[in-house]
Copies of this chain bind each other. A is one copy, B any other.
Amino acid sequence: MHGEMAPGQALTLRGIGKEFGVSMTPAREAVRRLAAEGALSLSTSGRVSTPELTRDRIEELAALRALLEVELASRALPRAHMALIDRLQSINMAVAEMVTKRDAVGYIRSNLEFHRTLYLRAQAPAMLAMAETVWLQLGPTMRALYGRLRRTEPPHYHRLIIAALKAGDEPGLRLAVRSDVTQGLRLLVT
């Protein structure tokens, strides 16, 4: 999810087991679970690797993010008090720091933390779980993306999100979230 692995990276059950000090059995269960969620892909012969997404699949997952996260943000809006907004701002500073440090994994991690912190207020666990499943599928691809583009400025749309939350502006919030979510992936596709 955090882009620690590149797309197409191969894994083995014995390797995973050794890495975590267990046998193949728990490694297999973890792999099968992640494969069921789309976070890993299994070849026809059962080999395990991180997925290499096609352009179409990336666009579809971006559309899913927009669909789910706009709804989550909208549901969080009436419950978003000042303490939450403060936390979002502080997380956003961490995001900006990761940008200057060119730390792709740190950037993805803190960026997702920003979103999750907001969505937790929506009180919609099933919806949040679905959004996280999409994040999981996009993890390696996001790594490839943010490793490619050389950003220097902190995320613009995060400030719009915070502003819309402060103003209680639901249409503005929906637009800001949708833009933030689709912006990055749009660059990858071109």
Is A68 close to B, CB under 8 A? yes
With A36-B33, A37-B36 as given contacts, are A125 and B67 in contact (CB-CB < 8 Å)? Answer: no
Q: Which of A1-51 contact B (CB under 8 A)?
A: 25, 28-29, 32-33, 35-38
Tell me whether B137 and A63 are in contact (CB under 8 A): no
Copy tally for this chain in the complex stands at 2
**A60 to chain B: closest residue by CB:** B126
Q: B-facing mask of A53-94, CB < 8 A → 1, else 0?
A: 000010011011001100100000000000000000000000
B33 and A124 within 8 A (CB) = no
* A64 in complex: contacting residue of B61, B127, B134, CB < 8 Å: B127
Q: Which residue of B lies closest to A53 (CB)?
A: B126
Q: Is the CB of A57 within 8 A of B130?
A: no
CA distance A63 to B60 in the complex (A): 20
- The reply to whether A67 and B61 form a contact with Cβ atoms under 8 Å apart is no
Interface positions of A from 122 to 181, Cβ below 8 Å from B: 124-127, 129-130, 133-134, 137
Residues of B within 8 A of A57 (CB): 125-126
**Contact between B71 and A38 (Cβ–Cβ < 8 Å)?**
no
Q: Which residue on B lies nearest to A70, using beta carbons? A: B67
Q: Which of A36, A61, A68, A126 is packed against the most chain B CB atoms within 10 Å? A: A126
Interface contact A130-B36, CB-CB below 8 Å: no
Contact yes or no, B33 A127, CB < 8 A: no
Task: Tell me which residues across on chain B come within 8 A of A25, comparing CB atoms.
Answer: 25
A133 to B130, alpha carbons, bound, how many Å? Answer: 9
Do A67 and B63 touch across chains, with their CB atoms under 8 A apart? Answer: no
Q: List chain A positions with a Cβ less than 8 A from chain B.
A: 25, 28-29, 32-33, 35-38, 57, 60-61, 63-64, 67-68, 71, 124-127, 129-130, 133-134, 137
